[in-house]
């Protein structure tokens, strides 16, 4: 990949400090992706010997931004409660489930509600609160659940059913057999909500026991009126306007006041969190309505149109995420006749290639015709590399139907079709996670090299889901220099910094690491080692982060649950009030 460029004395100091700080960590990664092992302290100390001796010109002086922390006033109002101590309840069975008042089990008082007769995971207990829950308002829920028979642990969820068609997370936790467990969480009722029910269910129980009976007790739903003052904040997009765009990921349900205002003030790029993924766009009813669509998948943009409208009104550009991904793409998309049967045979390679081309064509034509100039870049292929699967070239194969049906050439075909149908100004990216891992980096470089040789790729997306201690900045720097050698655009596409501690000390530790990271980005950009054109945070505030697990919240972003700036915000703009060590 060529010679690495020379570091400044300031960066050398930062990197050496980061080596010590990164000895403790482990990197968060959710869903199907595996945790990458942290390097040992011995390896990290050995890495320090790679520091070059020559020094480039000094980094330019940065503006001074004194740190200000906002204030919050919270007023709570109980809007619904049910302790099941009366002979009647408005909590009903959901689906096939039946609900019965019971006096032999309870968390408090003398009775609770048992949910029985379930024949599906989603069967549970539900309350219609359409007249209680108000659009744009914030609510907290507390409830206790328990089960007496089944696996040792099981996940319980409390959700809001919006308009009888969408299901929004309210609270989750892992319960132990025979123990009452608290579910607690919060939600903002999104715009467009015309009906809302709160319901309780379990995830898959395991061990063949999926539809266990369970108890519910002491349900309380509280409305929160929050008066928050952030003071006068510098705008991230203004601070970096001469360097790179600053983006945020958001879903339609997160575009509520005052989030709209904060997003429009701080960011000039937005990535839809889910709404441009295949499982959101593919229209099953239309696909199966006529045999002529067997090779021409039909799409529906009703879920993402509100995000386009928001971006249009606020002059925010959009990153398209994502055209081709092994996850969040339904199996029926690969099946003969678009069958939903679990064992339905998969289509031939030739037919899948036609579906791939037409899907990309339909998505790009809709977005370009209806919102011309709004999408400036597409993640064409996401996470196609997974060296642990053992395939030549490091391709992901075990959980990728794209690979299983089309082989490794699906990546090149996706870029070929995207280049064919995309407007000339739209940049095409390959996007992946844990891109500082050496085996993954080498495979990505081989992939990108082939695509670049054919003129099919404009940039590399580095997700950068990291923790407050891992990976080391040396690994991040080294990999970014390698990718930078291609001369393509580099974008940090899904940045967050996982952390399960929300103490003042932990926030400052996180802020220090954010400042080191952005100092590194600045140096790489200044020296031409990496052509960074965008940095996108994967979420606006901690309370909606995908990193939070049931019962274990994470605090990875720049704003807290009340949209008050954390020290990490000031770190990102390189405030002198945030130390580098």
Of 41 and 487, which is predicted with more confidence?
487
Asked if 383 is an active-site residue, the reply is yes
* In 321-472, alpha helices (H): 349-370, 401-406, 409-421, 438-453
pLDDT at 453 exceeding the cut of 50:
yes
Q: What is the mean pLDDT of residues 481-502?
A: 97
Are 45 and 19 within 8 A, CB to CB? yes
Residue 365: Cβ within 10 Å count: 12
Query: From the candidates 201, 218, 357, 494, which is the catalytic residue?
Result: 494
The whole-number pLDDT of residue 25 equals 38
Residue 184's pLDDT is 92
Question: Distances in Å between the alpha carbon of 420 and those of 65, 300, 429, 455, 456?
Answer: 45, 21, 14, 11, 9
User: For residue 67, what pLDDT band results from cuts at 50, 70 and 90?
Assistant: confident
Cα separation, 379 vs 462, in Å, equals 11
> What does pTM read for this prediction?
0.82
Q: Is the predicted pLDDT of residue 402 greater than 60, yes or no?
A: yes
Cβ atoms of 140 and 130 within 8 Å: the answer is no
pLDDT tens string 563-581: 999 999 999 999 999 999 8
User: For the chain, where do the domains classified as CATH 3.20.20.80 start and end?
Assistant: 9-70+230-572
Separation in Å, CA 167 to CA 108, 171, 341? 29, 12, 23
Sign of the alpha-carbon torsion through 77, 79, 84, 86 = positive
Reduced to 3 states (helix: H, G, I; strand: E, B; else coil), residue 148 is coil
CATH number for 9-70+230-572: choose from 3.50.50.60, 3.40.50.1820, 3.40.50.300, 3.20.20.80: 3.20.20.80
Catalytic annotation on 494?
Answer: yes
pLDDT single digits (tens) 187-240: 989 888 999 999 999 986 544 466 899 999 999 999 988 888 888 899 999 999
List, by residue range, all CATH 2.60.120.260 domains of the chain: 72-227
Q: Which of 201, 254, 275, 383 is catalytic?
A: 383
Give the pLDDT of residue 27.
Answer: 36
pLDDT above 90 covers a percentage of the chain that reads: 76
Q: How far apart are CA 471 and CA 39, in angstroms?
A: 8
Percent of the chain surpassing pLDDT 70: 88
How far, in Å, are 38, 137, 301, 554 from residue 506 at the CA level? 20, 30, 41, 12
Please count the other Cβ atoms lying within 10 Å of the Cβ belonging to residue 214: 25
What are the C-alpha distances in Å from 332 to residues 181, 324, 382, 461? 37, 15, 20, 28
Q: Is the pLDDT of residue 31 over 50?
A: no
- The pLDDT of 237-247, averaged and rounded, is 96
Section 96-103 average pLDDT = 94
Strands (DSSP E) contained in 83-180 are 92-94, 98-102, 112-116, 124-128, 138-146, 153-162, 166-176
Cβ–Cβ under 8 Å, residues 125 and 97: yes
Q: Are 183 and 172 in contact (CB under 8 A)?
A: yes
Give CATH for domain 72-227.
Answer: 2.60.120.260
């Amino acid at each position: 990949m060529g010679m690495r460029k020379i570091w400044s004395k300031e960066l050398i100091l930062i990197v050496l400090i980061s080596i010590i700080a990164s000895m403790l960590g482990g990197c968060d990664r959710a869903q199907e992706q595996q945790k990458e092992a942290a390097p040992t302290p011995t390896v990290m100390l050995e890495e320090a010997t790679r520091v070059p001796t020559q020094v480039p010109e000094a980094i330019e002086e940065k503006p001074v931004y004194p740190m200000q922390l906002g204030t919050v006033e919270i007023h709570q109002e109980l809007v619904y409660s049910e302790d099941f101590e009366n002979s009647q309840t408005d909590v009903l069975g959901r689906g096939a489930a039946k609900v019965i008042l019971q006096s032999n089990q309870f968390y408090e008082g003398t009775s609770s509600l048992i949910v029985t007769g379930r024949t599906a995971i989603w069967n549970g207990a539900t309350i219609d609160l359409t007249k209680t829950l108000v659009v744009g308002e914030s609510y907290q829920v507390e409830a206790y659940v328990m089960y007496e028979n089944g696996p040792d642990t099981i996940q319980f969820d409390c959700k809001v059913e919006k308009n009888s068609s969408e299901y929004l997370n309210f609270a989750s936790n892992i319960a132990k057999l025979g123990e009452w467990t608290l579910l607690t969480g919060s939600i903002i009722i999104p715009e467009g909500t015309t009906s809302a029910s709160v319901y309780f269910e379990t995830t898959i129980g395991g061990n063949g026991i999926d539809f266990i009976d369970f108890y519910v007790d002491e349900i309380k739903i509280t409305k929160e009126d929050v008066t928050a003052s952030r003071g006068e904040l510098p705008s991230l997009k203004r601070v970096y306007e001469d360097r790179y765009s600053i983006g945020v990921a958001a879903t339609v349900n997160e575009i509520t006041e005052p989030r709209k205002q904060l997003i429009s003030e701080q960011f000039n790029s937005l990535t839809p969190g889910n709404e441009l993924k295949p499982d959101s766009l593919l229209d099953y009813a239309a696909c199966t309505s006529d045999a002529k669509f067997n090779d021409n998948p039909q799409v529906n943009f009703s879920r993402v149109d509100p995000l386009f409208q928001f971006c249009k009104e606020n002059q925010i550009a959009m990153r398209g995420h994502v055209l081709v991904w092994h996850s969040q793409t339904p199996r029926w998309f690969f099946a003969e006749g678009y069958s939903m049967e679990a064992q339905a045979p998969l289509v031939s390679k030739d037919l899948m290639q036609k579906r791939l081309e037409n899907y990309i064509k339909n998505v790009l034509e809709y977005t370009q015709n209806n919102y011309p100039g709004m999408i400036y870049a597409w993640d064409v292929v996401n996470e196609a590399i997974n060296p642990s699967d053992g395939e030549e070239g490091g391709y992901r194969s075990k959980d990728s139907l794209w690979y299983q049906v089309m082989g490794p050439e699906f990546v090149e075909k996706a870029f070929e079709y995207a280049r064919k149908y995309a407007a000339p100004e739209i940049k095409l990216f390959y996007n992946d996670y844990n891109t500082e891992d050496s085996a993954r980096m080498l495979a990505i470089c081989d992939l990108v090299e082939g695509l670049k040789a054919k003129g099919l790729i404009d940039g590399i997306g580095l997700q950068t889901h990291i923790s407050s201690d891992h990976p080391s900045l040396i690994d991040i720097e080294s990999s970014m220099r390698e990718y930078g050698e291609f001369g393509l655009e580099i974008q940090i596409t899904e940045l967050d910094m996982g952390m399960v501690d929300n103490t003042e000390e932990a926030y400052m530790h996180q802020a220090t690491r954010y400042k080191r990271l952005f100092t590194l980005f600045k140096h790489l950009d200044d020296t031409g080692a990496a052509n960074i054109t965008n940095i996108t945070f994967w979420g606006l505030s901690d309370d909606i982060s995908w990193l939070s697990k049931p019962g274990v919240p994470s605090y990875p972003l720049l704003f807290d649950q009340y949209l008050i700036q954390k020290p990490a915000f000031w770190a990102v703009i390189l405030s002198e009030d945030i130390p580098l060590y």
